[in-house]
Structure 1
Amino acid sequence: MNGPRIRTDIVDVYVFRQRLPKEGPSVEFLQLRRREEPLAGSWQPVMGHVEAGETATDAAVRELREEIGLQAAGMECLGLWQLNGVHPFYMARGDAIVMSPRFAAQVRPEFEPRLCEEHDAWRWVAPEDVETCFMWPGQRLAIQEVMREIVGAASRSREHLRLDVGQGEVRPGQSGPPL
């Protein structure tokens, strides 16, 4: 085969919290600062590789646990959703076009991440600061999708994108009659 290879083995999880307006911005997104290369010192969402035998959803659930200490089926996680948008990008190192499955996870307002060795800091970012705080266009587009399809009051897809995470098994949420 000629040309770059296609990779789909990296997942992104956009962790967000909603707070009462009197406490500050009503929605904030979690960012983690990478400790080592590549991209040491850059801020990113929860990210990781799909391991052998895992689905992308399994990888997202595992990465939440490993990177920030969040149990997707636990009390701190209020919901997990798949996102439809995939923003392909070219990665010169490895000559690959990467298409990452993306997810959103809502946590309780008081949630504080428990970082693994991959990261050395965390912060919450308000939607109005996304343009300056998130480095990559695809990440900014994913946050727009979260705001529109998961957080947005007018969303018609929120419950259809919700994932049922329990007993270690992940299934797409079902609400309403089938189409």
Structure 2
Amino acid sequence: MPKINFEIVEVVLFRIKPEPEFLVLQRSDEEDIYPGLWQIVSGGIEPGEKAFEAAFREAKEETGLAPIALYNTPLTNTFYFYTTDSVNVSPVFAAEVNPRDQIRLSKEHKDFRWLAQDDAVSLLVWPGQKSAIRIIHDYIILKNPSREFMRIPPEHLRR
């Protein structure tokens, strides 16, 4: 019987320059899982770490960008992974970054693009990540009234 894991977070990084742009990353060809795939930031939750702390850390580790704001979203992505016979549930976060900051990719990725919503969606493969871009655009970037309810207070973030 498959096990259920809650060990992964996903993070949609965006910047306003002056129009919204979303960051998509291309996995390195040396990666064992999904080499060459275009994706959003994703990574593991370390022991003792909260999911939102992992989201902040993974954004910094994979891109060198420190979020200036981090948001919960009403999304969790789920996927089955056959090598571990597990269903993985991953909360999705949104992270706004300074448009002047420069990316420093980790070795997990070989390329990146800042794209408008439709272009980012067309480059991504997974339906959950495509939906995340759309929902984050509509509920956070467009300053929907729910935006401030979803913002994680800065004092809760590890810098």
Q: Same fold (TM over 0.5)?
A: yes
Q: Is residue 48 from structure 1 mapped to residue 46 from structure 2 by the alignment? A: no
Conserved? CA contact 1:86–1:102, under 8 Å: yes
Partners in 2 of 1:39 and 1:130 — Cα distance?
Answer: 18
**Of 9, 12, 16, which aligns to 2:10?**
12
Q: Runs of 5+ in structure 1 lacking a partner?
A: 21-25, 172-179
* Alignment partner of 2:22 out of 24, 29, 47: 29
Is the partner of 1:94 in helix, strand or coil?
A: coil
The residue identity in structure 2 corresponding to 1:112 is Q
The C-alpha deviation readout for 1:39-95, integer Å capped at 9, x for no partner, is 1111111110001110101111111121111233xxxx2x11011111322222211
CA contact (8 A) 1:50 1:59 kept: yes
In the TM superposition, residue 131 of structure 1 has moved relative to its aligned partner by 3.5
Does structure 2 conserve the Cα–Cα contact (< 8 Å) formed by 1:46 and 1:67? yes
* Structure 1 residue 16, shift from structure 2 partner: 0.6
1:34 and 1:113 map into 2 onto residues whose CA distance is: 15
The equivalent of 1:170 in structure 2 is 157
Amino acid at match of 2:41: V
Aligned residues of 1:125 and 1:133 also touching (Cα < 8 A): no
Which amino acid in structure 1 is aligned with residue 139 of structure 2?
Answer: E
Task: Note the C-alpha offset of 1:108.
Answer: 2.1
1:152, distance to aligned residue in structure 2 (A)? 1.9
TM-score (norm 1): 0.81
Structure 2, unaligned stretches of length 5 or more?
none
State the number of aligned residues.
156
Pick closer, same or farther for the CA change 1:131–1:71 going to 2, 3 Å: closer
* Rounded Cα–Cα distance in structure 1 between residues aligned with 2:107 and 2:154: 26
Aligned partners of 1:62 and 1:131: how far apart in 2?
24
Higher relative contact order (CA 8 A, sep 6+): 2
Would you say the 8 A contact 2:15–2:96 is kept in 1? yes
Distance 2:17 2:111 in 1: 21
1:161 is displaced (CA, Å) by 0.3
In structure 2, the residue matched to 1:106 is 96
Query: What one-letter code is carried by the residue in structure 1 that aligns with 2:20?
Result: V
Task: Judge conservation of contact 2:24–2:40 (CA < 8 Å) in 1.
Answer: yes
| Percent identity over paired residues | 39
> Using the alignment, how far apart are the partners of 1:145 and 1:132 within structure 2?
15
Please state whether the residue corresponding to 2:76 is helix, strand or coil.
Answer: coil
- Aligned equivalent of 2:120: 130
State the SS of the aligned residue for 2:135.
helix
Larger Rg: 1
Question: Could you tell me which residue of structure 1 aligns to residue 146 of structure 2?
Answer: 157
